[in-house]
Every structure is written in C-alpha cells, then in structure tokens.
Structure 1
C-alpha cells in the first residue's frame, strides 16, 4: 500500500480592496481643492495685509479640519453631523413612528410595509417554465426587483476542490451580472431562525396509526417535541434589481416579459455555483417573507397555512407591520425588536471559503437573523478605468513613502497589479458590502445580541458598527426586496466619494 506525503493545500481567497478616494492624504477631492484654493487665496490676501490673510486663512482651516477627522469606516465629521441632524428632523416630524391598519390614518386601512417600501407595488408573471414570480416595482426610483430562492449545498464533507469550483462559478456568476442590461445591484440574504417544528409535526403525527404500540407512539411524539429545540431553518434569497434609463418608462407587462426570459439563465448559473435547487419566489411567497420579518411570532401560522392549505393568500398590501418605532439603536416592529450592523472593514489578507460560516449559522438566543451581502456590479468600461487609476495611485504611494509605509504600499501595488491583470483577463469588478440584522423578542435582549454579533465578526475577521439613527432603513435593506442603499441617498455617490 502506497501512501502520499504531499501536503494538502486548501485554496485561499482575497484581494478585495476598498475603493481608493482621490485626494491628498485624509482629504477627498473636495478637501484637496479646498487646501490648494485656500492657500492661493491666503497668499493673494497677504499681498494686501497680514490681517486680511489671517481673515481668509482661519475660515479655511475651520472648513478643512472636519474633513481631516475620519472614523474607521472613512466618514468625516460633516457626515456624522448630517446623520444626527437628519435623525432629529425625523423625530420632530414623527417619521420614526408608523401605524397602519383599519384604525390608522393610512389610505385604504391596510397593513402596507413602511418606510422605503411604502410606495412599492407588486406584480406577478410566469417564466418560460410556467413558474410564477413576483416583481417589486419601486416607483420612486423606477426600479424592478425579482427574488430567487435556493437551497445551497452545504460545505460539510465536500472536497476542497469542489468548494473551489463552486467559488469560481460564483465569481463567474457575479462577473456575468456586469453584463446584465440595466442591472443596478444584487443582494444575497441568508436568513436563519429556530425551527418551530411545524413541518416535522405535520409530517410525522398524521402518519402515526391509532393501533401503534404505546412505546413507539411515545418515542415519535417525543422526537416531534424535542427536535425543534436543537434545529433551525435556513433560507437563502437572491434579489436582482433592474432600472430604467433616465426619462424612459416601459409598461410593467413589457418589463415582466423581459425578466421572465432572463430568469432560467440566472437560475442555471446559481445551480452551477452550488446553489442547489433554485426557483423564483411568487408574489405570495415574497409577501410571506416580509410579513414574518416584521412579525416573527406569525412564522408558525404561516407554515401551518402553507402546509394545510398550500398557501396563505397573503397580499403585498397586508405584508407590513401594525406599528413600528425607530430609536437610535433599535427598531421595534410588532412582535420583534431588531438591530442592524454595517460592514466597515473586510478581512485583511487571504481567507478560506469558510470565513463566514459562523456568521451564517443560526445564533442562539435570537428570534431571527439575516446576513445580507450587497453587490453593485460595475460595467467593463468603468472597471478598466477604476483598476488603472488604483494601480497608478498605488505606484505613486509606493515610490513616495518610507519604512513601514513603503512596505505596506508595496503590498498595495501587488494587489492593484493582480486586480488589473484579472480584470484584463475578463474578471468582473464588483463593489460589495455586508449587513447583519438580529431580531429578538424584547429590547432587554439586545445587549446579548450585540455580544453575539461581536463574537461572530471577530471569528469572521471583519469589523462592523451598529447602524445607529438609521435602523429602520438598514432593517429594510437586509430584506430580500431589492432596496439598494446607494439608490436612496440625497447626496450623489460621486460627491460622497469626493468628500
């Protein structure tokens, strides 16, 4: 018998980089222009008198200092102050409260979803295989979203080579999204919750015969009663959001027909990337997912109705909560209280394929947990410009630094060169972020939930911060409903990057 002494190698992944902000040092483009512009004006004013120069120089410094002070995730003092002002304005107007239903002042007296989803409408179509799929129309931004559900193959007892193939196929699927016409963004939401045992009870208890032995009956009933306490349910949703060119409107029926043609190809790519069985979600199923997210206590009732009647008959206009309250650090909605965290720093260096496994697994002590990965594909032309700009900026930093700074800059050069080579070979460029929402039964449990998330992010080698003063919007972004954060900002993304 021959034995191999060759070392087993496990593939590693990485080379993601935070988009480089143009500008001088901690300043963005606006700050850099302010520095040079202020110096020029100060020099011109000094020709008049020293007092005039000081009168110009002091306001320039006062304007630039807040741009120099930045948090870990790159926000400056102006952005922090703007966030607090917006929160105080919403509280003054009462926008942090929401009440719906027959006794509310909402038109129609129904339970429409709140906030960013209040103006969303639902339509339904059928793909080439006759499967129904729901289409969410975000009227305010003229966006259309479809939701795909899948049951991913687990990573346990799978060869590393097969995992590497799945990762490569997933990368190809993401790269393909940059060629999808009018695609604005995509999200992958992994939702976990304790298993209420409804499905198991409906499968086992009706099959027990009346003349079954007492011991056998007792064993089966004990299994049905104890199994849910140690098990959980997991659902994975992929949402794709498409937009229309500015000033152009298309009939909803035409958009649904266009999306119906694309769905089979998208599902085939997911299956090849380890997505398991995949299918589009119907309008009723999307409404059920939304209803359970806002009111976790109805999850067993929804499962009972689907198992007994084949569906709930729930409509989108009744998928929202009866009442919600947003606070600085939490979002209260019907039978749950949620808090959302935002990614501030991706893992440095290389990681293995299981880096997020702990974060995706069910967390004890929580009612529901959602991990949302948000993707913004970049078209090939823009990708080429970005990677070339990053490569030039990294080379300039490496040639102008010293010591440890120069060593880190050399690492940046290697990463930028590798990114440019992969992009030239056909790889896609995608901006991504991660959000985590944890739902518990009461506000008193939020402290324990925060400790759980802190431990999970440490194991995943990432850094996150709570979405304070915007918990309601962040909660909505982690739902598989096609809400893309960058599409709902007041300041254009280009100007934000310049800050």
Structure 2
C-alpha cells in the first residue's frame, strides 16, 4: 500500500506469475529447443541433409509455442480447447435433462456438470448453528460456505475503509496457514429485488380500519419498490483437502471444520463483512436452485418467510434442462454468459475500483462476481518472490534503453514484494469471473456491452469463457469449485507450458 499525500491510499503491485523457461516457450518448450539443437548438431556430423530433416519438424512443433494470446495461452492450448468442445458436442455432453421423465436414475433434479459428483452433509459449529459441507467426491475436497452482509462503503470514513482493506489482507494472508486449504472464493450476487420480503413485512401489518389514503400509499410503495431496488448477497467459500497419505472419515472432517468456523467468521466481521454466519445445507441448495432458475426466486423467498424454510435438498437443486453453446449457457428460465479475467489493473488503484462491477446492473436477471484465491504456503512464497527478484535483476542488468527502464520498474516491484513477504505478508494467486443471467438470447448482446463498460471502468481485461460456459457458470456459484483442481492436465504441467 502506498499513500498519496497521506489522503488517498492506493493499492497495486500484483504480478503475473513468471513462466519458467526461455521467452515465450515455457519450460517444456525450452527443453525442446535445446534438445532439438543438440540433436541437430549431432546429426549434422553425419549429414547436413539429415540435420535439416531433424531441424524442420522441431521448428514446426515449437513455433506454435511462440504465438500466445493476451492471457498467455499458446496455439496448442487453443486447439485443445476446440477439440474438447467438438468431442463433448459429438457425445451430447453439451445438453442435460433431469427429472422424472429423464433417463437419469432416481428421477430427481441433480445439478449437472462439475456439480454432479457433489454430495452435501450437515454439521453444527461451536454455537450449535447448522452448516452445510459440500463433499467433492472426485477430488476428495470439502467446502463450507459462509454468508455475509457487508456494511458497504457509503457514508463510511476513509480511515475505516483503510482498516477494512488491511483486515481483509490479513484474513487472506491467514489462509495460507490454514491446514489443508486448497482455495477460497468470494461470490457477490446481485439481482433485482422481487419485493417479496417487503410485502410479507408490510401488507400483513396494515390495519383493517386504516384510512383508504394511507392504505393506498403503503400498497403503492410495496408495488413500486422492487422496480428501483436490488438485493445483494455475499458468500465466502473455503475448500479443504485431505492431507496426502491420510484417510479420514467425513464425520471427522466435518468436526474439524466446525472448530475452525468461529475463527474464520470473526476475521470476516473485522474486515467489514458485517453479520456473518455459515450457510446450512438447505440454504446452499436454495442458492443453487435460484441460480439455475431465476424465476423461482420469489417463490423461495415466500416459502422461507411463511414456513421458515423450503425443505429443498441438494438432489433437487439442479435445472430441469440446460444447453451449452459456444458463447452462452441456457438453463431453465435464464440464459447466462461468463467472463474470465485475463489482466489485472495496471498500476495502482483505489479501494473502490470494483464498486461499479459489484453493483446491480439494470436489465439483467442476476449477476455474480466471483473472486478466486489460491493461498500459497510461506515456504513456497519465499521461494517464488526470491526467484522473481533474481529474474528481474538479471533483466535489468542485461537490457538497454527502454527495456532497461521497464526492467528497473520490475526490479522495484519485485523488491517491494520480497520485503513485504519477509515482513509477514502472504502471497496469494487470484482471478476473477463474472456471470450475467438474462431472460433470453436477445438480451445477451446488451449484457455483453454492459459488462465491457464495467470492466473498462474497473481497469480490468476480461474475455468470454467461450466453449466452456457450463464449467465457468459452475465456478461462479458459491459451491467451492476451484478451476485448477478440475483440469485434465496437472497444474504443474500447465505452468511448464
């Protein structure tokens, strides 16, 4: 954090993880380059023609590694994405039907895709509050969901905002010391207010003998209030894994998580999270149900207000039907599109840089902004920052002119990161995803323009998650889906590419 004239603190110095290897080739590409050169030199001792026969294929195979998109993907990764899409489409995996009339066993409305292998259990924390635990059976991961009611930044002193930002940074740094934590996410969901809660609070309290004018005013307020208001929900998910070599029963893991919840909640409250509490299994199912079918949001609120709950189970939280296309995801009463972060804001920003992106957007049914975090343990953090510092110093001493000036800026940033890490700050990899849900395909074009304007105001660079809209939609739900844990290619190998 830096201070401008001691009045307006700014934040920044986030750095894209440096890819190992020579230039754009990556680690595997660099090994291929040197291996090809050595093999070509050895073959050239026999014949120049044979050396050319060896050199040409190596060149053809390595050249696509030098062509990369803005977010660092090479040509092979783009081709693999399209091949995977055509394979899923040929197998019929891009469409999903559930319910009693579907061929799926059980006749229930189970969530599709990445959520299909999740089971939900429930435990009770130290304050005897129920909390749901999502068990990702394929990866043996466990997720808890915490609900928050943030205080907001309106009419708040700047000093208090600075304290909240610092406390949030401390809370994130603390996650790197959480045993077994694989990742965390913060999901901020906004939607037009249905007016159900206001109607349930106001209309039953109108006295039968009230003056007609007063009754008309109250009824008009209840009727018109939803058109100019919105509702906002904030969820924090924490996903834990079982340590390698250990076998633990689910009940033991739930007991362990119950002990951690009070401490995690106190940190969120100190960071401006307002009243925070764990979400029960029923509440998690309701959130997922409304995300897939926004039209039932009012019914869910009515049932909760009248009966204290809906009784909804996880196996009935999914859609009746959904279809994935190249650039959209159709599900029950909504059509969604998801964008992914490609470049964080350059330079420094103020604490309210994401405010416009987090606020409700007129003309949309629902909008979710998901911030994904992968805490790095202290030992790995120290190794990463020292490696970045050495690389930046090497580039600064080997370049000239503009390259040297840019490298000098990299050195200052690397030195600051190393100093902050040495003083106890945590190192966290982060990303951001945005999902917008509308009523029809015709409204997606307007929603795309709106998101493009919002990301420009937030100084973000994002791209649509084309050919993987269904998976991206699941990642923005508060269910603990971590993208790096659900890839066919191991994360270490992807970083080497």
How high is the TM-score relative to the length of structure 2? 0.98
Deviation of 1:246 after TM superposition, in Å, equals: 3.0
> Map of 1:235-314 to 2, 5 A cutoff?
235-314=233-312
Aligned equivalent of 2:106: 108
Mapped pair 1:205 → 2:196 = no
> Aligned to 2:9, what secondary structure does the other structure show?
coil
| 1:164-195 deviation digits (Å, cap 9, x = unpaired) | 11011000000110000000000000000000
Aligned equivalent of 2:379: 381
Aligned counterparts of 1:404 and 1:338: Cα–Cα separation in 2: 44
> Map of 1:226-237 to 2, 5 A cutoff?
226-237=224-235
Aligned counterparts of 2:247 and 2:364: Cα–Cα separation in 1: 43
Match of 1:36 among 34, 37, 51: 34
> Map of 1:305-454 to 2, 5 A cutoff?
305-454=303-452
Aligned equivalent of 1:68: 66
8 A contact 1:24–1:32 mirrored in 2: yes
Aligned residues: 494
Deviation of 1:265 after TM superposition, in Å, equals: 0.3
Aligned counterparts of 2:450 and 2:247: Cα–Cα separation in 1: 46
8 A contact 1:21–1:28 mirrored in 2: yes
8 A contact 1:111–1:321 mirrored in 2: yes
Moved over 4 A (4+): none
Alpha carbon RMSD of aligned pairs, Å? 1.0
| 1:212-254 deviation digits (Å, cap 9, x = unpaired) | 1111111111111111100000000000000012343311111
Aligned equivalent of 2:89: 91
Aligned counterparts of 2:99 and 2:89: Cα–Cα separation in 1: 22
Q: 1:427 to 1:8 in 2, by over 3 A?
A: closer
8 A contact 1:306–1:312 mirrored in 2: yes
Aligned counterparts of 1:169 and 1:308: Cα–Cα separation in 2: 38
> Aligned to 1:38, what secondary structure does the other structure show?
helix
Deviation of 1:147 after TM superposition, in Å, equals: 0.1
Aligned counterparts of 1:402 and 1:365: Cα–Cα separation in 2: 52
Gaps of 5+ in 1: 1-5
How high is the TM-score relative to the length of structure 1? 0.98
Aligned counterparts of 1:130 and 1:336: Cα–Cα separation in 2: 37
| 1:324-372 deviation digits (Å, cap 9, x = unpaired) | 1001000010000000000000000110000000000001110000000
Aligned equivalent of 1:167: 165
Match of 2:50 among 49, 52, 64: 52
| 1:424-455 deviation digits (Å, cap 9, x = unpaired) | 10110000000000000001111111001100
Aligned equivalent of 1:140: 138
Gaps of 5+ in 2: none
Match of 1:25 among 16, 23, 26: 23
> Aligned to 2:106, what secondary structure does the other structure show?
helix
Aligned counterparts of 2:141 and 2:260: Cα–Cα separation in 1: 16
8 A contact 1:189–1:238 mirrored in 2: yes
Aligned counterparts of 1:153 and 1:462: Cα–Cα separation in 2: 25
